[in-house]
Amino acid sequence: MARPLIALVGRPNTGKSTLFNRLVGWRKAIVDSVPGLTRDRLYGVTEWRGREFSVVDTAGLGLDQNDAQGQTRVAIEEAQVLVFLLDVRQGLTAIDRDLADLLRRSGRKVLVAANKADDPRREYLRSEVLELGFPEPVMLSGQHGIGVDDLLDRVLELLPPFQAEPEGEEAAARLAIMGRPNVGKSSLLNHLLGGERSLVSEKPGTTRDPVDTEIRFDGLPVVLVDTAGIRRRAAARDRLEHFSLLRGIKAMERADAVLLVLDATTGVLSQDQHVASYALEAGKGLVLVVNKIDLLERGERNQAVWQKQMLHEFKFVSHAPVITLSAKTGQGVAKLLPTALEVVGQRRLRIPTNELNRLLREAFAERPPPSYHGRRLSLKYATQANSETPTVVLFVNDSGLVHFSYRRYLENRLRQRYGFAGNPVRLVFRAGSGRD
């Protein structure tokens, strides 16, 4: 089930990115940071009081300062809750008032966050905010973490309740086709469908909205979601481009796995890595699809060569399988769906609890954890969580003794035994016996 989407909106320099980083990193150590990517990311997942939701930082969408209303309109169309950020040090500006009017008329759920309130005893602009017609604002400091608990509690109050999945035949897999504009996503979808059902154009960004299409593969229902291309921020200027990006993120959220389409003629760009990091953050399966190999010299089409290159370019998702193909000629396309279905199947693998504990105890015995200040991590009990993303909860003596290298070692041991190909494996360490 897709996570609710929370958007941080407001004029520039109100601290949206600082608050975003605080929210997605709040008491959360599920995946390692991706070097060179986390600085510019605009999407993340956070959890509060047992519920996960996605957060989008509209400051990262690359709009000019004069386009604050434009990015707010985009967020209004897609997010379940809008967090309207103000700077208490500067007071209400004309742009703030214009955005407030836009939000008020939208009829959407809006939570006002008065940021940079480092001294909770001061009133700041509370009375001015109330004049805008919104409920009591949350006074906070994204930089220092003051009031963030209160903000998250208020967000939970505004989120829609969990909804049961609609009745009907459940798809064997939901696959989101993502990637930069003009890498051949629509052409690939057309080939999988066996007909020209999606508009194909040489102009980048032709596809604007995600379209769900169900096909049958070996008798199994598979849903394909063709999403709009994700442009680099410097090139993304118009409202439709940002609308497409948010729609792409939402499409990914309700998918089991992402088919990340890359252009073999241009190689791997930072935007490609960003999309892969989004899939990792969301806990989705991932298949790297290298398209347009028909445009390469024969010696450059070797699968093994691309496998090695992708392992170098996507070290943080080394678990993802690589498929080389040509959506135009059909070369290699037949390998894609079987690989994607295997990835989805791997994420649904359940490990018997006794087997899981036996394996982890063997891992601890063969390579004991390092000692810190005379103390050593010890395993009491482990169990696999009931989660869409493969997640193992380890009850230990002290979760603060877990080193990232030992976390990686345990993850590798799990992968060696059970695979989980194409999927992130989350290890959650908790202090306690786990048997209460």
182 is in an annotated binding site: yes
109 is in an annotated binding site: no
Q: Can you tell me the distance from the alpha carbon of 427 to that of 29, in angstroms, rounded to the nearest whole number? A: 9
Which residue type, as a one-letter code, is found at position 375? Answer: R
DSSP state at residue 39: T
Indicate if 173-347 has the same CATH topology as 5-158: yes
Helix (H) or strand (E) holding 113: strand 109-115
Q: Is the pLDDT score of 377 beyond 60?
A: yes
In a 3-state reduction of DSSP, which class is residue 328? Answer: coil
293 is in an annotated binding site: yes
Strand partners, 384: 392
Q: Can you tell me the distance from the alpha carbon of 249 to that of 82, in angstroms, rounded to the nearest whole number? A: 16
302 is in an annotated binding site: no
Order the strands of the 285-291 sheet from edge to edge: 211-217, 220-226, 173-178, 257-263, 285-291, 322-324
Question: Do strands 285-291 and 257-263 pair parallel, antiparallel, or not at all (unpaired)?
Answer: parallel
Location of structure tokens 């908790």: 430
In a 3-state reduction of DSSP, which class is residue 279? Answer: helix
pLDDT tens by residue, 154-210: 999 999 886 655 555 577 899 999 988 889 998 998 888 885 554 444 444 444 445
Q: Is the pLDDT score of 142 beyond 50?
A: yes
367 is in an annotated binding site: no
pLDDT tens by residue, 276-334: 998 998 999 999 999 999 999 988 888 999 999 999 999 999 999 999 999 999 999 99
185 is in an annotated binding site: yes
61 is in an annotated binding site: yes
| Confidence at residue 70, expressed as pLDDT on a 0 to 100 scale | 62
294 is in an annotated binding site: yes
6 is in an annotated binding site: no
60 is in an annotated binding site: yes
Of 192, 177, 318, the C-alpha closest to 256 is: 177
| Confidence at residue 426, expressed as pLDDT on a 0 to 100 scale | 94
- Domain positions in the chain are 5-158, 173-347, 353-431
215 is in an annotated binding site: no
Q: What is the mean pLDDT of the chain?
A: 82
Q: Burial code of 181-201, b = ≥16 C-beta within 10 A, e = fewer?
A: bbbbbbbbbbbbeeeeebeee
24 is in an annotated binding site: no
pLDDT tens by residue, 49-83: 888 888 988 764 444 444 555 666 767 777 889 99
Which CATH superfamily, name and number, covers 173-347? P-loop containing nucleotide triphosphate hydrolases (3.40.50.300)
CATH second-level architecture of 5-158?
Answer: 3-Layer(aba) Sandwich (3.40)
| Confidence at residue 34, expressed as pLDDT on a 0 to 100 scale | 45
174 is in an annotated binding site: no
379 is in an annotated binding site: no
| Confidence at residue 200, expressed as pLDDT on a 0 to 100 scale | 46
pTM check: above 0.85? no
CATH second-level architecture of 353-431?
Answer: 2-Layer Sandwich (3.30)
Cβ neighbours of 209 (radius 10 Å)? 13
Share of the chain above pLDDT 70, in %: 80
Alpha-helical runs (H) found in 283-419? 303-313, 336-347, 353-366, 404-418
59 is in an annotated binding site: yes
pLDDT tens by residue, 223-276: 988 665 454 444 444 444 444 566 677 778 889 999 999 999 999 998 899 889
User: Using N-to-C axis directions, what is the helix angle for 239-253 and 270-282, rounded to 10°?
Assistant: 40
Q: Can you tell me the distance from the alpha carbon of 62 to that of 266, in angstroms, rounded to the nearest whole number? A: 23
User: Using N-to-C axis directions, what is the helix angle for 185-193 and 336-347, rounded to 10°?
Assistant: 90
181 is in an annotated binding site: yes
